[in-house]
Amino acid sequence: MSVEPALSRTERKKAELRREILDAAFEAFAEQGYHATGIAEIAARLGIGHGTFYRYFANKRDIVEHVVTATMDRIIGALTAENAPGAVDTLAGYREQSRRIADTLGEIITHDPRVPRMLIVEAPGIDPQMADRILDFLDLAVELNAAYLAHGVERGYLRPDLDVVNTARAINGMILAAAIDGIRRPEPEHQRRLSAAIMAVMFDGVAS
């Protein structure tokens, strides 16, 4: 078993400043928009010079790649271990798993409303390449959700004639709507009730 070498004090300071630059850029992009934010604005928030910024990132487009990647990684991270598609084998287990995922995604939104604003509002308008990356991420979300549904069909706790791909799209549409709602209304209690409503539609439908 290899042991990672300890970072020197200088390396730790560099890593910390890099994180601070990312966070300041995230804040500026969310508040002012990507196109309205300049390198000078990001540097001024930290009290550093342009030269210091360019030692860590090539340009503004480079930093937004890191911001979007980190945001996507946080969301994908909610779908691992006990929340992986094949981790449960009963409807009760799937309900509980879905609740855990909903709680985790809700925490991401309520803890940091910049997340949905960045992914949904700002990033798609940066350039065609970034727009395609966001659309690819949404397609990946459909594939992941379809995997949960397909596993349920295979195990017999979801109906055998379920259209897993389009059902996944419908569920993800509700989740995306909740994320958009979270931009304006990130309050935890509001998001909890919205999540509960989505879960009720998923599992119980709207019939009396």
> According to the model, what pLDDT value does residue 6 have?
67
Identify the pLDDT of residue 127: 93
HSE value, Cβ hemisphere, 13 Å, CA-based, for 189: 0
- Please give the domain boundaries of the chain with CATH numbers for all domains: 9-57 (1.10.10.60), 62-204 (1.10.357)
Please report, to the nearest 10 degrees, the dihedral formed by the alpha carbons of residues 153, 158, 160, 165 taken in order: -70
Could you list the pLDDT tens digit for every one of the 208 residues in the chain? 454 566 688 888 888 999 999 889 888 888 888 899 999 989 999 999 888 989 999 988 998 888 888 888 888 888 887 889 999 999 999 999 999 988 888 887 777 778 888 888 888 999 999 999 999 999 999 999 999 999 999 999 999 999 999 999 999 999 999 888 988 888 888 888 998 999 999 898 766 5
Residue 169: closest CA among 191, 195, 143, 200? 143
CA dihedral 145, 78, 26, 22 (to 10 degrees): -130
DSSP 9-52: HHHHHHHHHHHHHHHHHHHHHHHH-TTT--HHHHHHHHT--HHH
Task: Supply the pLDDT for residue 96.
Answer: 93
* Helical axes 91-111 vs 188-204, angle rounded to 10°: 150
Kind plus residue range of the DSSP H or E element containing 76:
helix 60-76
DSSP alpha helix (H) spans, 123-162: 128-155
Q: For residue 5, what pLDDT is reported?
A: 60
